[in-house]
Amino acid sequence: MDHQYCEVKLSVQPCRALVDEKFKVLVQKAPPGAQLTVRSHHHSENKHEWEAFGHYICDSTGALNLSEDLSLGGTYEGVEPMGLLWSLRPVPGSKPGLRLRKMNVETPMEVTVSVYQGHLSEDFSEQRALAAVVVERWYMAPGVRRIPVTEHGLTATLFLPPGPGRFPAVLDLWGGGGNLMEYRASLLASHGFAALVLDYLTNELTKTTGKMMENDYFEVAFKFLEQHPQIVGSRIAMWGLSFGTAMTLKMAVYSNVIKLRCAVCYSGSHIQPVDGSVKDIKEYMGKKRENIRVTENQEVIFRDLTLPVPKDPAFKVDMGRLQCPLQVVVGLDDQSWPAYESAMDMKVMMEEAGNSHLLTLLTYPHTGHLIEPPYSPYVRTSILRPFPGGVSFKVLWGGETAAHSRAQEDAWRKTLLFLREHLYDMRNSAVTSKSNL
Amino acid sequence: MTSAAMDSIVAPLLSVAPTRALVDEMFTVRVENLPPCQHFTLHSLHLSEDNDYWEAFGHYTSNHKGTVVPQDYTKGGTYTGKEPMGLLWSLRPVPGSRKGLRLRKMNVCSPLLYTISVYSGHLVVGFRAQAPLASALAERWYMAPGVQRISIKEKAVRGTMFFPPGTEWPLPWTLGYYFGPGEMETTEMKSNYFETAFNIVKDHPRVISNKVGIVGLSLGATVAFYLATESKVVKPCCCVCINGHHFNPSGKHLFDLSYDSFKMHVRKLSAYWIDCFEYQESIIIIYLNFWQMGKINCPMLLVCGEDDQNVPAVEVADDIERMVRAAGKDRLLTRLNYPGAGHLIEVPYAPHFRVTAFMQAKEQKVMIVWGGQTKPHSDAQEDSWQKILDYLQLHLYSCPSLASKL
């Protein structure tokens, strides 16, 4: 019997967690001062492989603590306890333009964390790991209920927190890529907010009739929440990202049916034909295609489509009429929407109208368009498949890995606090500033 | 309050962190957004695999911010004091349950589910008759992700092997002999059953053959004593023995002893072993032979519940210590004594059972007194588990020259 064995111990605590929770990675009993590579590896739902790794030197007791020790190289550098997740990238040789998004939120994301001898950057599968563990990262807490919603022509999924309720709620809108992306709503429900994610671009009605949804589609979704027996109708927020921000602002200001307790807008703008709906906004943008730029790497930059910010009030939401608290989150390197220019214009409009006290503006340097839940792998570009059909193309989202990942972590925490403050009346005295400009 | 104000009332926010954990990990429960300075009850509810309900609860007062945490002091309920894990270790069958229940997870691939709730007022009964103000669900797992479970049916040995996740390196191993009286077949089991099982593990390609230890509870500890002293075939690297006895009946092999033969010698087997003290004396009188513990050649950790009513754990441990010292081998022996702990010293936060029912041979159901008082027994489980893990780590992972008494 071969008695050669390895004493190196690796632990990741907790081994099961929500995706927005931190973990601690510890290595023990390695040779003192040894060079080690700590690597994470994930097989995605669509069968692609992602990895991240850091190069470390363990201390004189043979121990390593990723919350304290510096990564000297790899896919992340510095003291980065969560770098093994946010710096995940497709392994060499993968299809270009991949993006990691969890489609089935009822199962966890499984990540294998391993330790290797030396500072490795490639060919991990040809090496024998010194130790390895598997961790589960969940988008849903136990007891959260997932309920597909098709009433009244909606294409949506409702997530309810465990317990009898009644709960405040968030109407969750994603962007121009369409589809029903459930992972933000399921996370919100894991934090005590009922959440309804609504598909308004690739929904059933649009697919079968060929017609884009009018504004009343969003009002129907709101009423569904308002009348739900486990939801407090007077405590509903909307959270939009990208195109979803356009609809959120339109509804918040102009709808007679939708009465929001507060609103959250990520990476979007208020620039749109105010008398119109989804179709009109798309057509408005379609008329300005000459503003689209393409990089030398064939990456499409959409941010200039609606610039400069129009002076004509018919083409921007009248923010002076907003009556609920609004949190706006902007990546300063957003290459897809002119989020910063729009935010500046909104601020001016609200200051002139006297309602700027409602605005909380968070801007993040070197941060791109796709501001996702914390520790989600960052991608600077990815392939977009247009709906209802057409050639796929590569979109430039912007941002730099480390800064963008820090922004995701900070913005998420601040948005949850914002929602707790306005939907639960729970004020956290640590967050008092309205803007970090 | 106006109707509009009532409509605007939202539930308190109850959170459990982590929501998914291993059974030996702590959790924190937090309730926020309650009315300040009022009475509330925190409650945990578990439905067992046998379809029995188990519960625990503590009485609290919300602070001026409307928050309750179990680190706060509780004066009433199934636990008192500052006990963040009280909602787990003080679990007991709900009123009206069958008598003598014991909570044991048979399917370790799925988690234990606990519903943690908060109720208005200081309740003692009737939790299921009223709606809580809020609840959350906590999962508690016996298996980490990536652990592989493999059933063994080889050479008449039945068991299960669990492999840690990840690497292909061979691993040190722990063989667990866990059973109590009546839980194995009472047909006589030959001692070579245990030696065969040990060798199946030792010879496995993913096991380091000279790094196989034994952990035994109750009769399992007795098996460990036998193997460590008498077996010519197996050489455990170390042993952890919890509340076992070292009686060797009449010099015969270990499992020529069956419980039928125990009963032959016992004067009376009553519904409750209130005569347990007499029973123990009768065992000591009848069984003049003991395993010769001075023959051990591996480190051994003895865990003794001082209120063990099933096995005279303290007297046994005293006797083992005497024998080992006489042989000049006390450096091999480590002993942990737990006042107030009973026989069934299990993993942390597992509920305590002072008395449970079990089926003797031939469908004779008796109530067995295991002993222990809940709080000290739970403290013993928490303390001993960490010490057992550290002990196994020391003896199975380190070089022999580094091994030393805890």
pLDDT in tens, A247-275: 999 999 999 999 999 999 999 999 999 99
Instruction: Domain ranges for chain A, please list them.
Output: 3-138, 145-423
Q: What are the residues facing A148 on neighbouring strands?
A: A157
The confidence score (pLDDT) of residue A67 equals: 97
- Across the interface, whether the CB atoms of A143 and B135 are under 8 A apart is answered yes
Question: Alpha-carbon torsion B366, B369, B370, B375, what sign?
Answer: positive
Instruction: Name residue B313's amino acid.
Output: A
Which residue of chain A is at minimal alpha-carbon distance from B209?
Answer: A1
CATH superfamily of B12-141: Acyl-CoA thioester hydrolase/BAAT N-terminal domain (2.60.40.2240)
How does strand A326-331 pair with strand A262-266?
A: parallel
Out of B18-27, B61-70, B106-115, B341-350, which region has the weakest mean confidence (pLDDT)? B61-70
A208-211 CB contacts, 8 Å cutoff, 24+ apart:
A210/A388, A211/A279
Assess whether pLDDT exceeds 50 at residue B354: yes
Instruction: Domain ranges for chain B, please list them.
Output: 12-141, 148-403
CATH superfamily of B148-403: Alpha/Beta hydrolase fold, catalytic domain (3.40.50.1820)
Out of A13-22, A307-316, B156-165, B291-300, which region has the weakest mean confidence (pLDDT)? B156-165
pLDDT band at B267 (very low <50, low <70, confident <90, very high): very low
Q: What percent of chain A has pLDDT over 70?
A: 96
User: What is the C-alpha separation between A94 and A382, in angstroms, rounded?
Assistant: 13
The more confident residue out of A223 and B209 is A223
CA–CA min distance B167, chain A (Å): 5
Out of A174-183, A193-202, A361-370, A423-432, which region has the weakest mean confidence (pLDDT)? A423-432
The confidence score (pLDDT) of residue A386 equals: 75
The confidence score (pLDDT) of residue B45 equals: 97
- Across the interface, whether the CB atoms of A128 and B169 are under 8 A apart is answered yes
Average pLDDT, integer, range A293-303: 94
Catalytic residues of B, by residue number, are 218, 308, 343
User: What is the C-alpha separation between B321 and A273, in angstroms, rounded?
Assistant: 88
3-state helix, strand, coil in chain B (%, to 5): 25, 30, 45
Average pLDDT, integer, range B122-134: 94
The confidence score (pLDDT) of residue B69 equals: 84
User: What is the C-alpha separation between B302 and B317, in angstroms, rounded?
Assistant: 7
Out of A158-162, B109-113, B181-185, which region has the weakest mean confidence (pLDDT)? B181-185
pLDDT tens digits along B189-239: 566 888 899 999 999 988 888 899 999 999 899 989 999 998 988 999 999
Q: Of B385, B387, B369, B352, whose CA–CA distance to B89 is shortest?
A: B352
User: What is the C-alpha separation between A343 and A320, in angstroms, rounded?
Assistant: 13
Out of A416-420, A431-435, B67-71, B89-93, which region has the weakest mean confidence (pLDDT)? A431-435
B182-187 CB contacts, 8 Å cutoff, 24+ apart:
B182/B259, B182/B358, B182/B359, B182/B360, B182/B361, B183/B358, B184/B219, B186/B258, B186/B259, B186/B260, B186/B361, B187/B258
How does strand A156-160 pair with strand A194-198?
A: antiparallel
List the structure tokens of B192: 């070579």
Considering only CB atoms, A232 lies closest to which of B7, B165, B210, namely B7
Is the fold of A3-138 the same as that of A145-423?
no
pLDDT tens digits along A389-421: 778 899 999 999 999 999 999 999 999 999 999
Q: Of B18, B135, B320, whose CA–CA distance to A15 is shortest?
A: B18
3-state helix, strand, coil in chain A (%, to 5): 25, 30, 50
Assess whether pLDDT exceeds 60 at residue A26: yes
A285, HSE (Cβ side, Cα atoms, 13 Å): 20
Contact B391, B406 (CB under 8 A): yes
Q: What percent of chain B has pLDDT over 70?
A: 81
Average pLDDT, integer, range A4-9: 74
Highest mean pLDDT among A31-40, B147-156, B230-239: A31-40
Catalytic residue among A20, A199, A333, A334: A334
pTM for the model stands at: 0.91
User: C-alpha angle with apex B57: B52 to B59, nearest 5 degrees?
Assistant: 160
Contact B373, B365 (CB under 8 A): no
pLDDT tens digits along B307-329: 999 888 999 999 999 999 999 99
B24 neighbourhood in chain A, CB within 8 Å: none
Q: Of A362, A365, A360, whose CA–CA distance to A405 is shortest?
A: A365
The more confident residue out of B285 and B143 is B143
- Across the interface, whether the CB atoms of A131 and B210 are under 8 A apart is answered no
The confidence score (pLDDT) of residue B260 equals: 47
For residue B385, give the 3-state DSSP assignment. Answer: helix
The confidence score (pLDDT) of residue A4 equals: 52
Which residue of chain A is at minimal alpha-carbon distance from B147?
Answer: A134
Question: Alpha-carbon torsion B276, B282, B285, B286, what sign?
Answer: negative
List the structure tokens of A265: 């807008």
Phi, psi (degrees; rounded to nearest 5) at B264: -60, -35
pLDDT tens digits along B367-378: 889 999 999 999
Instruction: Name residue B5's amino acid.
Output: A
User: What is the C-alpha separation between B46 and B4, in angstroms, rounded?
Assistant: 37
User: What is the C-alpha separation between B103 and A32, in angstroms, rounded?
Assistant: 45
Assess whether pLDDT exceeds 80 at residue A182: yes
B312 CB neighbour count, 10 Å cutoff? 22
> Is A228 known to be catalytic?
no
Is any Cβ of chain B less than 8 angstroms from the Cβ of A227? no
Assess whether pLDDT exceeds 50 at residue B39: yes
Catalytic residue among A369, A382, A404, A405: A369
Assess whether pLDDT exceeds 90 at residue B268: no
How does strand A299-301 pair with strand A393-396?
A: parallel
The beta strands (E) that lie in A58-123 are given as 64-65, 89-90, 109-117
DSSP 8-state code for residue A357: G
The confidence score (pLDDT) of residue B261 equals: 46
pLDDT tens digits along A119-137: 999 999 888 899 999 999 9
The more confident residue out of B5 and B39 is B39
Distance of CA A215 to the CA centre of its chain: 25
Average pLDDT, integer, range B50-72: 92
> Is A369 known to be catalytic?
yes
CA–CA min distance A160, chain B (Å): 12
The confidence score (pLDDT) of residue A144 equals: 98
- B residues 104..143 contacting A (CB < 8 A): 113, 115, 117, 131-139, 141
**Residue A308: is the preceding peptide bond cis (ω within 30°)?**
yes
User: What is the C-alpha separation between A388 and A207, in angstroms, rounded?
Assistant: 8
User: What is the C-alpha separation between B9 and A423, in angstroms, rounded?
Assistant: 10
CATH superfamily of A145-423: Alpha/Beta hydrolase fold, catalytic domain (3.40.50.1820)
pLDDT band at B168 (very low <50, low <70, confident <90, very high): low
The confidence score (pLDDT) of residue B194 equals: 87
- Across the interface, whether the CB atoms of B136 and A15 are under 8 A apart is answered no
Integer angstrom CA distances of residue B236 from B191, B194, B223, B299, B401: 15, 12, 12, 9, 17
The confidence score (pLDDT) of residue B252 equals: 54
Buried b (16+ CB within 10 A) or exposed e, A75-93: bbeeebebbbbbbbbbeee
B86, HSE (Cβ side, Cα atoms, 13 Å): 25
Burial class for A275, CB neighbours closer than 10 Å (0-12, 13-18, 19+): exposed
Integer angstrom CA distances of residue A345 from A278, A329, A339, A361, B363: 22, 14, 10, 12, 82
A392 CB neighbour count, 10 Å cutoff? 10
Phi, psi (degrees; rounded to nearest 5) at A163: 105, 170
B6 CB neighbour count, 10 Å cutoff? 8
The confidence score (pLDDT) of residue B367 equals: 86
User: C-alpha angle with apex A397: A393 to A402, nearest 5 degrees?
Assistant: 135
Is any Cβ of chain B less than 8 angstroms from the Cβ of A117? no
The confidence score (pLDDT) of residue B34 equals: 95
Q: What is the CATH number of domain A3-138?
A: 2.60.40.2240
For residue A90, give the 3-state DSSP assignment. Answer: strand
pLDDT band at B1 (very low <50, low <70, confident <90, very high): low
- A residues 178..207 contacting B (CB < 8 A): 190-192
Contact B376, B219 (CB under 8 A): no
The DSSP string of B168-186 is: -S-EEEEEEEEE-TTSS-S
